[in-house]
Structures are given as C-alpha cells and as structure tokens.
Amino acid sequence: MKKLSSLSVFAPCLNEEKNIPFFVKKFQEVLPKLAEKYEVIIVDDGSTDNTQNIVRQLMKNNPEVKYVHHPVNLGYGASLRSGIASSQFDWIFFTDGDLQFDLDELEKFVKETENFSAIIGYREHRADGSRRVFNARLYKLFIDMLFRLHVKDIDCAFKLIRADLLKTLKLNSTGAFTSAEFLYRLKKMHIKFLQLPVKHLPRKFGTPTGNNPKVIIKAGIEALKLYLFMKFGIYSSGAERTSKIV
C-alpha cells in the first residue's frame, strides 16, 4: 500500500492516564506502515490525574510523541482546535484517547486518500449505552434540521482529513459542536466526505464525559448561534471570521 507522505495524529484526552500508554504503543505499531513521517499529539484538556507525567515519560523514548497542555479544562472543541493548530504534517487524523476504536482500521482510510480529501468514520454499533445513543440521535436530528449536514455519525472521533483544508477553517465554537461545525464548513467548500464504518469498543478505563448535560446544552447553544448568524446576522461576534467561509 502506498504510504502518506506525512501524517499528524492527535487525541483529545481528559484523565486518560491508564489509556494513553496503550494508545501510543498501538500507534507506534500502526503508523510506520501508513506514513513516511508521522507524529502523535496528546492534547491534555486540563487533566487532574497523572496524564502529564505519563506523556512526558513517553516522550523521552518516543520522539514522535508531542504534548499539548491546557492548564484548565476548556472543552472538547477547544481540544480539537488545539490539535489541528499543533499538527505539522500533510494529513490529520484524530481520534479519542479512550481506546474505544480499533486503530488498525486507519489503514482502510489511508487507502482512500487518493480519491477523497476527507474520510470520516461512523460507528456501526455504539458501545455507549442506550441513553447516550438516544441523545446522539436527537443531537443529529437537531444538527440536520439546522444545517442539513446529513452525515451518519457527526461526532464519531475517527476522521482523516487533509491538513490544508482543516487549517483554513475559522471555527467559532469551543464545545462539542466543533465537530459538526468543521464538517459544515467543509461542506460549504464543496468537499465531499467518504463515510466508512468503524468498530466501537467498550471503554476499559476511565469515565466518559460526552453525556454530561452541560456539554450537550453548550453544543446546542453554539449550533443555534451559528445558525442564527448564518441566516439572520444575529450573534455577530466572530462574524469577521465566519464570513470568509460562508
């Protein structure tokens, strides 16, 4: 298989001290087969466990591992923005640091890069429990109603996208809506997505935060603000950035 010239991988992490060593080890096995050059960036969003010390120890023996640290928790969207900004190579892949995805599946995404600039995963069967699945369906319905995005799994953290596309986007949101926002902005640029199924695995360590009501409410508010600005010019803060895309 033809390798990518270079690949940046980043993972937003919050209190994933037990998962990170396994995450880095797996990528050290997978990435040499997929890219001539690569980096693995851990975006630590204000963890209060031993994440920082663990990552810094891993960096001593793994020069490809990089570390981005938020002194306080800024939210998932802010972590995505930090990861994109810190990525140095031609392609960017991001996933979560909780090991709920089979990282070997990245190979089938890389195979499609000759024909597509954005390859995004969708979870065939979510391993999150019925409540989170229900919330995800309501959120997808809400986003599709506002933006007609119509992708199968908006927030699936398994996406491979050309870096020059992601880095040109001027994102306004900082919460969980960020995933939907950058897909929407790519759609407005007429970028076609290839959607591929991926496995979703039960979490082994740590506690999920995506089902927190505050996270969901913030995502909904940010989505509504962007919609109102796009349609009616309401909530004009950040309009000078948004106008370049719309």
Strand order in the sheet with 91-95: 65-70, 35-45, 4-13, 91-95, 158-162, 118-123, 193-198
- What CATH number does the domain containing 50 carry? 3.90.550.10
Question: How distant, in Å, are the alpha carbons of 27, 93, 110, 121, 137 from that of 193?
Answer: 24, 14, 14, 10, 20
| pLDDT value at residue 187 | 92
> What are the average pLDDT values for consecutive 10-residue runs of the chain, which has 246 residues?
93 94 94 97 96 96 96 91 96 93 96 96 81 81 88 93 94 85 92 95 69 74 81 52 29
- Which phi and psi (to 5°) does residue 65 adopt? -85, 130
Tell me how many domains the chain contains. Answer: 1
| pLDDT value at residue 245 | 24
- Its sign, for the CA torsion 178, 156, 148, 164, is positive
Question: Domain limits at 67?
Answer: 4-242
| pLDDT value at residue 208 | 60
Rounded (5°) CA angle 221-227-217 = 15
Query: What residue type is assigned to position 57 of the chain?
Result: Q
| pLDDT value at residue 13 | 95
- DSSP, res 31: G
pTM: 0.87
| pLDDT value at residue 173 | 83
